[in-house]
Structure 1
Amino acid sequence: MPNVFVISDHHFGHKAIIDFESRPFTSVEDMTETMIEKWNAVVKPEDKVFHLGDFSFLNLEKTKAIVARLQGYKTLVLGNHDRGRSRSWWLEAGFDEVSEYPLVYGGFFFLSHEPMYMNKHMPYVNIHGHIHGQKYEGVQYVNVSVELWDYTPVSFESIKSKLVPNEEQ
């Protein structure tokens, strides 16, 4: 059975992000290769990945080359740095689906780039990126920026298991 993963904020080709976020890479090429390896170490070709934005700062040809190396069926929710390019640009780059807006997954999870307003009475969880190494307090927010997950897509099942404690038999 295919697994479902979420991740955000790779910033492929963005040299300055290494310093901005204290990423442990010696160069933008080192960052690219490491993040592709970590993606493919967990994602299989039949799996589905929701990328929650800020994927690449590179041109179409270079972005397409990276997307082609990443396993899985890839859905991109556009981030603030992706929105300067059209949906068709991202589809041509190799994403299977592209959304300009947050998605609702499993009837309970809001998948967005930026954190969404969630009051404590709402029975939903917002899985998001955008804020990199920062975290919002509370169980209603899960930040899947690469810095918090060792640059590796996180399985939806592991997120759910952290949110819903196992009931004892």
Structure 2
Amino acid sequence: MQNVFLTSDHHFGHRHIIDYESRPFEDAEQMNEALIERWNAVVGPKDRVLHLGDFSFLNLEKTRAIVSRLNGSKQLILGNHDRGRSRSWWLDAGFDEVSEYPIVYGGFFLLSHEPMYVNKHMPYVNIHGHIHGQRYASPQYVNVSVELWDYKPVSFETIKASVVPGEEQ
């Protein structure tokens, strides 16, 4: 069975994110290795990962080297820091699918990099990244930035169980 995971805001190669977000790493190289190790600790080779943006600040060769070390098939929804590169650049880097826009997943979940407006009358949950260690109080928003999930992808089943009444973890 294929498991589905979501994550965002790895910022591979971005040394300043360590200070900006108080990440527990000494430098970008240590951070990169820890993020790869934590990804592979939960994601298997046959699993699927939906990455909600801000993946890498590295060049194509170094980004490709990281993507090739990560378990699972990988889909990228472009984040604000990914948009300076074309969709084909990200495909060349090793992503199986790349979306320039948010997508609806499972008929009920809006997957986006930045939080999208949803209100209590809308039947959607917005799974997003971008705001790193912050959370919205509403259960209609789930932030999958690595800072909130021990720097690991989180399973879709875990998210679904946290927001859909009657779902078990």
Query: Do Structure 1 and Structure 2 share a fold, with TM-score over 0.5?
Result: yes
Aligned to 1:49, the other structure's residue is in SS state strand
Task: Report matched runs for 1:65-144 at 5 Å.
Answer: 65-144=65-144
Is 2:23 aligned against 1:23?
A: yes
Structure 1 runs of 4+ with >6 Å offset: none
Task: Flag structure 2 segments of 5+ consecutive residues without an equivalent.
Answer: none
Partners of 1:115 and 1:73 lie apart in 2 by 24
Partners of 2:29 and 2:42 lie apart in 1 by 21
Letter of the aligned partner of 1:110 in structure 2?
A: L
Partners of 2:35 and 2:16 lie apart in 1 by 16
Partners of 1:89 and 1:104 lie apart in 2 by 24
Aligned to 1:31, the other structure's residue is in SS state helix
Q: Deviation of residue 165 (structure 1)?
A: 3.8
TM-score normalised by the chain length of structure 1: 0.97
TM-score normalised by the chain length of structure 2: 0.97
Aligned length: 168
- 1:164 corresponds in structure 2 to 164
Aligned to 1:33, the other structure's residue is in SS state helix
Partners of 2:11 and 2:39 lie apart in 1 by 14
Task: Report matched runs for 1:5-20 at 5 Å.
Answer: 5-20=5-20
Partners of 2:3 and 2:136 lie apart in 1 by 26
Check whether the contact 2:144–2:154 (CA below 8 A) recurs between aligned residues.
yes
After superposition, the CA RMSD in angstroms is 1.1
Aligned to 2:131, the other structure's residue is in SS state coil
Q: Deviation of residue 167 (structure 1)?
A: 7.0
Task: Report matched runs for 1:49-60 at 5 Å.
Answer: 49-60=49-60
- 1:62 corresponds in structure 2 to 62
Q: Deviation of residue 166 (structure 1)?
A: 3.3
Aligned to 1:91, the other structure's residue is in SS state helix
Partners of 1:91 and 1:70 lie apart in 2 by 15
Check whether the contact 2:2–2:47 (CA below 8 A) recurs between aligned residues.
yes
Letter of the aligned partner of 1:15 in structure 2?
A: R
